[in-house]
Structure 1
Amino acid sequence: MKATWAKDISYEIVRSNRATADIVIERDGRVLVRAPESIPDERIEYMVEAKRYWIYKNLAEWRDLNATRVLREYKNGEGFLYLGRSYRLLLVADQTEPLLLKNGRFCLRRDLVDTGAIAAAKAAFRNYYIARGAERITQRVNYYAPKVGVTPRDIDVRELGNRWASCSPSVNLAFHWKCMMAPQTIIDYIVVHELCHFHYLDHTDAFWNEVDKVIPAYRERKEWLRKHGAGLDV
Structure 2
Amino acid sequence: MSADVRSTVRKVKDIEYRLLPGTARQTTDIVIERDGCVTVRPPARMTPEQVDDTVLSRRRWIYRNLAEWRDLNSTRVVREWVNGESFLYLGGAYRLLLVGEQNEPVKLRDGRFCLLRSVVDQGGKAAAHEAFRDFYITRGRVRLKQRVEHFAPRVGVQPGPLQVKELGYRWASSLSGGGLHFHWKCLMAPPKIIDYIVVHELCHLHHRDHTELFWNEVDKVLPDYRERKEWLRARGAGMDL
1:120 equivalent to 2:127? Answer yes
Paired residues of 1:212 and 1:218 also in contact (CA < 8 A): yes
The C-alpha deviation readout for 1:103-129, integer Å capped at 9, x for no partner, is 000001111222461111000111000
Match of 1:148 in 2: 155
Larger CA deviation: 27-36 vs 98-107? 27-36
Specify the code of the residue in structure 2 equivalent to 1:109: L
Match of 1:11 in 2: 17
Match of 1:77 in 2: 84
Specify the code of the residue in structure 2 equivalent to 1:11: Y
Specify the code of the residue in structure 2 equivalent to 1:10: E
Query: TM-score, structure 2 length as denominator?
Result: 0.94
Match of 2:223 in 1: 216
Paired residues of 1:13 and 1:33 also in contact (CA < 8 A): yes
* Rounded Cα–Cα distance in structure 2 between residues aligned with 1:155 and 1:35: 29
Match of 2:138 in 1: 131
C-alpha deviation, 1:18, in angstroms: 4.7
* Rounded Cα–Cα distance in structure 1 between residues aligned with 2:188 and 2:52: 37
Give unmatched runs, 5+ long, in structure 2: 1-6
Secondary structure of residue in 2 paired with 1:188: helix
Secondary structure of residue in 2 paired with 1:61: helix
Aligned counterparts, 1:159-198, within 5 A: 159-198=166-205
Aligned counterparts, 1:58-69, within 5 A: 58-69=65-76
Task: Provide runs of 4+ in structure 1 moved above 3 Å.
Answer: none
The C-alpha deviation readout for 1:127-171, integer Å capped at 9, x for no partner, is 000000000000000000000000112111111111111111111
Paired residues of 1:93 and 1:109 also in contact (CA < 8 A): yes
The C-alpha deviation readout for 1:29-76, integer Å capped at 9, x for no partner, is 111112344321111111111111111111111111111111121111
Bigger RCO of structures 1 and 2 (CA < 8 A, at least 6 apart): 2
* Rounded Cα–Cα distance in structure 1 between residues aligned with 2:103 and 2:47: 57
Match of 1:230 in 2: 237
Secondary structure of residue in 1 paired with 2:151: helix
Secondary structure of residue in 2 paired with 1:28: coil
Calculate the aligned-residue CA RMSD, in Å.
1.2
Match of 1:97 in 2: 104
Secondary structure of residue in 2 paired with 1:117: helix
Specify the code of the residue in structure 2 equivalent to 1:14: L
* Rounded Cα–Cα distance in structure 2 between residues aligned with 1:230 and 1:57: 18
Given the superposition, is the C-alpha separation of residues 18 and 104 from structure 1 closer, same or farther in structure 2, using an over 3 Å criterion? farther
Identity %: 59
* Rounded Cα–Cα distance in structure 1 between residues aligned with 2:133 and 2:123: 18
* Rounded Cα–Cα distance in structure 1 between residues aligned with 2:139 and 2:172: 16
Secondary structure of residue in 2 paired with 1:15: coil
Given the superposition, is the C-alpha separation of residues 31 and 136 from structure 1 closer, same or farther in structure 2, using an over 3 Å criterion? same
* Rounded Cα–Cα distance in structure 2 between residues aligned with 1:179 and 1:11: 26
* Rounded Cα–Cα distance in structure 1 between residues aligned with 2:123 and 2:210: 44
* Rounded Cα–Cα distance in structure 2 between residues aligned with 1:122 and 1:18: 42
